[in-house]
Amino acid sequence: TGLITLDDGYANTGSCRSAITFIDGEQGILRYRGVPIEDLAERSSFIETAELLIFGELPDTEQRDDFRHLLTENSWLHRDMRDHFDAFPTNAHPMSILSAMISALQSHDLPEHHFTDENGFREAAASLLAKTRTIAAASYKSHIGQPIMYPRYDLPYAENFLHMMFSVPYRDYETTPEVAHALNMFLVLHADHEQNCSTSTVRMVASSRANLYASISSGVNALWGPLHGGANMGVIEMLEQIRDGSWTPRQYIDRVKDRRSGVKLMGFGHRVYRNFDPRARILKEAAHSMLDAMHITDPLLDIAREVEQAALSDDYFTSRRLYPNVDFYSGIILRAIGIPVDMFTVMFAIGRTPGWIAHWKEVSDNQRQRIYRPRQIYTGENLSEWRPRAER
Ligand code: CMC
């Protein structure tokens, strides 16, 4: 079988060719389909960004209106899906609900043949984007014991999510432009990030020709882990421990440096960025201006700055080129919006859905796509003798 080269964690393995997202980790550059992330974060809506990622270009007015219409039409869940919600215990983790519900959607939503033509795919993409948001908000409502809110057809994507999260019967939640802008920006910044763990998972599942929903629910599960999307919860938990006096920032950093503790500095470090993560730069600035505009003082923002300072002036982090990543400041923004911490990773999943869809499509459109099937270096017994149970 020839000699197999081991590449732990695929740090130096190109798994595919892709035309979706460009990252230059040395210079801190991120572009979706060539468009700089800074422009998209400031000027594009999340849905426009999703169209850019999934269909390859920014939509004109007609395309945008048409896609919005598809999202609106597909935003509500089939009645029968309610029973699935009711079957979860009230303290179920929202990521477990999200992945299970996306899997279940395959049975309730569109027949499989829909994915094979362009219009069917367009509808499936719109349906997934709309329903991921609806499921996320509904899982929160079930968790806090409030009735599930219907989506409103007159609201844009981010505002509609906030409505489903925070409105109650007979009292509609009123958002502010700052909050809607911040949520939109959060989603845009999470929309894709080339071959990260969850997207590679989606591509791997897709390479077996599995359907869109099955592939994306696998992506949700991969995102759940604390080294990936789960880090945004980890950051807030760390900052809260410091706020509550369990550690000073310096003590926390020392704890991280002590290998025996097994503690990592959450929201720090990245496989590709060896300099600043451009998303962290934007979010840090946004967290600051958003809290100012909303007249909120969040002690966690000051603590985050202090921890960042302490880390960036410490040889452990600088010699390893560890800088804040997207998760370091995003939680401050989500807190200011009123999103509870256990929903943070779900927020990441809503944001990442366009990227997952775009990558599923790229794999599925490639007629010559081989199934993903890495090799291994076997380290087990060479040959073991089978013995009857009495002799074991
Ligand atoms: N705190 C302390 N040490 C770290 C950290 C950290 N956050 N990140 C990396 N290191 C150390 C690591 O121990 C290793 O040290 P040594 O060379 O002495 O063994 C060195 O830096 C290189 O790290 P690595 O583990 O080889 O890096 P990786 O590319 O395999 O892992 C990472 C990348 C993001 C998983 C990792 O940096 C990490 O665990 N960070 C904390 C969790 C986190 O913030 N994850 C979110 C990532 S960005 C968004 C996303 O993908 O979801």
Is the ipTM value over 0.95, yes or no? yes
- H-only helix segments in the chain: 37-43, 46-55, 61-73, 81-87, 94-108, 118-144, 157-166, 177-190, 197-207, 212-223, 231-243, 249-257, 278-293, 299-312, 315-319, 326-337, 344-365
pLDDT in tens, 206-250: 999 999 999 999 999 999 999 999 999 999 999 999 999 999 999
Ligand 1 near 239 CB (within 6 A): no
| 21-24 sheet: strands from edge to edge | 21-24, 29-32, 35-36
Helix axes 177-190, 46-55, angle to 10 degrees: 20
The CA 270 to ligand 1 mean position distance, Å, reads 6
- Residue type at position 23: I
Q: Which residue's alpha carbon is at the smallest distance from atom 22 of ligand 1? A: 320
pLDDT in tens, 81-117: 888 888 999 888 999 999 999 999 988 876 655 666 8
The rounded distance, in Å, linking the Cα atoms of 368 and 257 is: 47
Residue from 270, 273, 275 to probe ligand 1 pocket by mutation (most atoms less than 8 Å from CB): 270
The rounded distance, in Å, linking the Cα atoms of 293 and 284 is: 14
By the 8 A CB rule, do 15 and 203 touch? yes
3-state DSSP helix/strand/coil % of the chain, to nearest 5? 60, 5, 35
Q: Catalytic site residues?
A: 270, 327
Tokens representing 108?
Answer: 């309730």
Residue 306, Cβ density class (10 Å: 0-12 exposed, 13-18 middle, ≥19 buried): middle
The CA 105 to ligand 1 mean position distance, Å, reads 34
Ligand 1 near 219 CB (within 6 A): no
Ligand 1 near 279 CB (within 6 A): no
The pLDDT tens digits along the chain (392 residues) read 578 999 999 999 999 999 999 999 999 999 999 999 999 999 999 999 999 999 999 999 999 999 999 999 999 888 888 888 889 998 889 999 999 999 999 888 766 556 668 888 999 999 999 999 999 999 899 888 898 999 999 999 999 999 999 999 989 999 999 999 999 999 999 999 999 999 999 999 999 999 999 999 999 999 999 999 999 999 999 999 999 999 999 999 999 999 899 999 999 999 999 988 999 999 999 999 999 999 999 999 999 999 999 999 999 999 999 999 999 999 999 999 999 999 999 999 999 999 999 999 999 999 999 999 999 999 999 999 999 999 99
Please state the atom number of ligand 1 nearest to the C-alpha of residue 267.
Answer: 44
